């Protein structure tokens, strides 16, 4: 019994010492201007409360509770990391824009372990700017826009045609088939068939480990995901080698058909003959598949969910899209990128869906030096979490923030100039595919609401570890009558 009491005594002493150390350290930080807050329990910090809030209908409650106690910028300890959280859009803007010289990306261990050193999230400086510019330029090209519009249309129409014979459709599952197929074709020009099916199966296993306990023993979630990534890398590496050989044989001449061509064809700055490393290209191709499996299909699914719960918004959306369909039928013209993007109310629905969904709810950065923003000191070496969800759901920024109200965007500042609307991030790491994402959602909504009416079954949004529908949003569809069109 003595050794038990001795152990408990030692634990008690260590705990007291830890709290005294924290107390002294906190007082020093407070004097220096470090935001107030709590470090929570030893080792685990406030992680349990953070995760618990993620499973509720209001995951932002973790941030709200501390914001009311300590202000819009506070410190905490989550996921094994002492961190400063910002729910202030102005502070977030500075953090996002000061990339490289003041802040660098810093994410939970499970993400960095799974994505690796060549991750887009981890890459900094010249290389990050170079890849961002290459992909962004390709996505903005008129040739790409015309081709991808047709590819998305074809994929959406084929999928919708299958729905008329199905009793119950799980929207989230069906949409993932569309988005993943379109994105993989855009990245490496692989169409439907065996290779695509294998890629999707391994990718689904890979992505499950992005948010998990960072233990990679056999049988653990992280271990399974790492094994799936090994298989993905082998598949993509084979495709990259074949494409590189083909480009060399053609002396690099020809059109850029996909993202892989763009990354392989680039020779760097003028007079510079430095090609991107093979492992870097393969890793980034895999990482760029994430929107096709997670973010874009989730946004589409939630748009259907919110419209199902808002008959007035659905009616106005349907009227706008039926009018475009009538115009195209009368003129005989094909749809173009601008046709979909000019649907003003549809774009408002998409903006409101992205605001409410908070699929990317925050970004993580690490301070390279002491940085002071609006009187808040972020010490060198500390992580800062710029919370997008807190800004999107703040009554100071949006009236009745928990209501789906696409009409608010008729008078809200445009997204590009709005520091309170950041579903695609910001600064130098602003998602280069943001317009493509909007296009894909627009095309899906257009053809869905002009082909079917539907009744959605009851379902709930789950926000942890990633945003998704609990039952994958089951709906029953009925073809619209010809007179409605």
Q: Which string of DSSP letters, residue by residue, matches 227-286?
A: HHHHHHHHHHHHHHHHHHHHHHHTTT-S---SHHHHHHH---STT---PPPHHHHHHHHH
pLDDT tens per residue, range 342-353: 999 999 999 999
Find the helix or strand (DSSP H, E) in which 408 lies.
none
pLDDT of 4 reads: 42
Find the helix or strand (DSSP H, E) in which 454 lies.
strand 452-456
pLDDT of 485 reads: 52
pTM of the entire predicted model: 0.88
CATH code linked to domain 125-484: 1.10.630.10
Distance CA 68, CA 53 (A): 16
pLDDT of 412 reads: 64
Q: Are strands 81-86 and 73-78 parallel, antiparallel or unpaired?
A: antiparallel
Boundaries of every domain in the chain: 1-32, 125-484
pLDDT of 269 reads: 46
pLDDT of 172 reads: 95
Is 431 known to sit in a ligand binding site? yes
pLDDT of 18 reads: 43
Look up residue 481 and give its DSSP letter. Answer: P
State how far the alpha carbon of 278 is from the alpha carbons of 42, 125, 244, in Å: 43, 19, 10
State how far the alpha carbon of 73 is from the alpha carbons of 30, 54, 257, 305, 393, in Å: 13, 20, 45, 33, 16
Q: Are 47 and 79 in contact (CB under 8 A)?
A: yes
Low-confidence ranges of the chain (pLDDT < 50): 1-29, 31, 268-273, 415-416, 482-483
Q: Are strands 461-462 and 468-469 parallel, antiparallel or unpaired?
A: antiparallel
pLDDT of 28 reads: 44
Q: Are 345 and 406 in contact (CB under 8 A)?
A: yes
CA quadruple 264, 268, 273, 274: dihedral, nearest 10 = -70
């Amino acid at each position: 019994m003595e050794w038990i009491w001795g152990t408990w005594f030692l634990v008690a002493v260590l705990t007291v010492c830890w709290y005294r150390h924290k107390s002294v350290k906190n007082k020093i930080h407070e004097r220096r201007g470090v935001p107030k807050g709590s470090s929570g329990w030893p080792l685990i910090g406030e992680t349990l409360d953070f995760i618990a809030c993620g499973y509720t209908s209001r995951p932002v409650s973790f941030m709200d509770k501390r914001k009311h106690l300590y202000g819009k910028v506070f410190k905490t300890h989550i996921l094994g990391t002492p961190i400063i959280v910002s729910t202030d859009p102005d502070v977030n803007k500075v953090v996002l824009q000061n990339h490289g010289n003041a802040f660098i990306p810093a994410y939970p261990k499970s993400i960095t372990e799974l994505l690796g050193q060549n991750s887009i999230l981890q890459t900094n400086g010249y290389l990050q700017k170079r890849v961002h510019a290459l992909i962004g330029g390709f996505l903005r090209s008129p040739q790409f826009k015309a081709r991808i519009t047709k590819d998305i249309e074809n994929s959406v129409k084929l999928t919708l045609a299958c729905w008329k014979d199905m009793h119950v459709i799980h929207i989230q599952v069906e949409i993932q088939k569309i988005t993943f197929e379109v994105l993989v074709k855009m990245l490496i020009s692989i169409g439907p068939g065996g290779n695509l099916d294998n890629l999707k199966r391994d990718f689904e296993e890979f992505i499950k480990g992005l948010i998990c306990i960072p233990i990679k023993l056999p049988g653990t979630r992280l271990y399974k995901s790492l094994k799936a990534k090994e298989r993905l890398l082998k598949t993509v590496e084979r495709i990259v080698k074949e494409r590189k050989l083909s480009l060399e044989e053609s002396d690099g001449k020809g059109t850029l058909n996909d993202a892989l061509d763009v990354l392989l064809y680039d020779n760097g700055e003028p007079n510079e003959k430095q090609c991107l490393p093979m492992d870097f290209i393969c890793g980034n191709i895999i990482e760029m598949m994430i929107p096709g499996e997670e973010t874009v299909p989730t946004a589409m699914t939630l748009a259907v969910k919110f419209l199902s719960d808002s008959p007035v918004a659905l009616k106005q959306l349907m009227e706008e899209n039926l009018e475009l369909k009538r115009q195209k039928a009368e003129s005989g013209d094909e749809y173009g990128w601008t046709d979909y993007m000019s649907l003003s109310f549809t774009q408002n629905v998409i903006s409101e869906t992205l605001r409410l969904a908070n699929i990317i709810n925050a970004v993580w950065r690490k301070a390279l030096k002491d940085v002071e923003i609006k009187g808040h000191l972020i010490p060198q070496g500390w992580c800062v979490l710029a919370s997008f969800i807190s800004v999107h759901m703040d009554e100071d920024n949006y009236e009745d923030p928990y209501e789906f109200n696409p009409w608010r965007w008729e008078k809200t500042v445009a997204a590009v100039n709005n520091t309170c609307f950041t579903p695609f991030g910001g600064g130098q790491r602003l998602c280069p595919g943001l317009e493509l994402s909007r296009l894909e959602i627009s095309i899906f909504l257009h053809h869905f609401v002009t082909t079917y009416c539907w009744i959605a079954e009851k379902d709930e949004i789950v926000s942890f570890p990633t945003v998704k529908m609990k039952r994958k949003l089951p709906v029953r569809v009925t073809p619209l009558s010809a007179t409605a069109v």
